[in-house]
Chains A and B, each alone.
Chain A
Amino acid sequence: MKTSTARAIQCSAALAAAGLLLTACGSSGGSGSGQSAQAAPVSFKGRGPISYVAGKDTTGTVQTIINRWNKAHPKEKVTFIQLPTDADSQRQQMIQNAETKSDAYTVLATDVVWTSEFAAHQWIEPLPANQFPLGKMLQPVVETGKYRGKLYAVPASSNGGLLFYRTDLLKKAGVTRPPTTWAQMTADCAKVKKLPEAKNMSCYAGQFQKYEGLTVNFAEAVNSAGGQIVDATGKPDVDTPQAKKGLDFLVHSFKDKTIPKEAITYQEEDGRQAFQAGKLIFLNNWPYVYSLAQKSGIKGKFAVAPLPGLNGPGASSLGGSNLALSSFAKNKATALDFMKFFTSEESATYFLKNASLAPPYADLYDSASLDKQYPYLPDLKQSITKAVPRPRVVQYGDVTAAIQNEVYAALTGKKSSAQALKDLQGDLQKLTAQ
Chain B
Amino acid sequence: MADTAIPPDTAPHQPGTAAPRRPGRPPAPQRPRRRPRSRATAGTGRLAALLVSPTLLVLTIVVLYPTLMALDESLYGTKGLDPKTGFISATEPFVGLKNYTDIFTQAGDRFWNAFWNTTFFTVVTVSLETVIGVAMALIMHRAFRGRSLVRASILVPWAIPTAISGLLWKWIFNADGIANVLLGRQVLWTADGFSAKIAVVIADVWKTAPFIGLLVLAGLQVIPKEVYEAARLDGASALQQFWRITLPLVKPALLVAVLFRCLDALRMFDLPYILIGAQKGSVETLSMLAQNEASNVRFGPASAYAVLLFLYVFLIALAFVRLLGADLIGGVGGTKKRKSHAVRVPRRRVREVAA
Contact = CB atoms under 8 A, between A and B. Distances in A.
Contacts of B63: 9, 12-13, 16
B191 A15 contact: no
A3 B67 CA distance: 11
Residue of B59, B72, B310, B314 with most partner-chain A CB within 10 A: B310
B71 interface: yes
Given A9-B63, A24-B66, A122 B88 contact: yes
A104 B66 CA distance: 22
A8 B67 contact: yes
Given A10-B314, A18-B267, A209-B190, A120 B68 contact: no
Interface in B244-258: none
Contact of A18 (B81, B87, B189, B309): B309
B132 interface: no
Contacts of B309: 18, 20
A286 to B, nearest CB: 19
Contacts of A95: 295, 297
A412 to B, nearest CB: 7
A78 to B, nearest CB: 28
A232 interface: no
Given A121-B297, A265-B188, A20 B306 contact: yes
Interface string A106-129: 000000000001011110000000
B72 A265 contact: no
A168 to B, nearest CB: 23
A18 B331 CA distance: 33
A394 B88 contact: yes
B303 interface: yes
A266 B174 CA distance: 9
Interface in B35-91: 59, 63-64, 66-73, 76, 80-83, 85-91
Interface string B253-284: 00000000001001101000000011111000
B290 interface: yes
A25 B303 CA distance: 10
B91 A33 contact: yes
Interface in A329-364: none
Question: Which residue, B90, B263, B309, has most C-beta atoms of chain A within 10 A?
Answer: B90
Contacts of B302: 23, 27
Given A3-B71, A13-B63, A398 B176 contact: no
A23 B304 CA distance: 10
Interface residues of A, number: 64
Contacts of A26: 294, 299
A23 B313 contact: no
Interface stretch (A34-42, A310-318, A382-390, A415-423): A34-42
Nearest to A430: B106
B69 A28 contact: yes
Given A11-B67, A434-B80, A23 B294 contact: yes
Interface in B281-303: 281, 287, 290-291, 294-297, 299-300, 302-303
Contacts of B66: 12, 15, 21, 24-25
A408 interface: yes
Given A8-B64, A209-B190, A120 B87 contact: yes
B310 A15 contact: yes
11 contacts: A12-B59, A12-B67, A18-B266, A20-B306, A23-B70, A30-B76, A34-B90, A88-B295, A211-B278, A262-B186, A397-B295
Interface of B: 59, 63-64, 66-73, 76, 80-83, 85-92, 174-176, 186, 188-193, 263, 266-267, 269, 277-281, 287, 290-291, 294-297, 299-300, 302-303, 306-307, 309-310, 313-314, 317
Given A8-B68, A8-B71, A394-B81, 6 more contacts: A14-B310, A17-B263, A18-B266, A27-B303, A120-B88, A121-B87
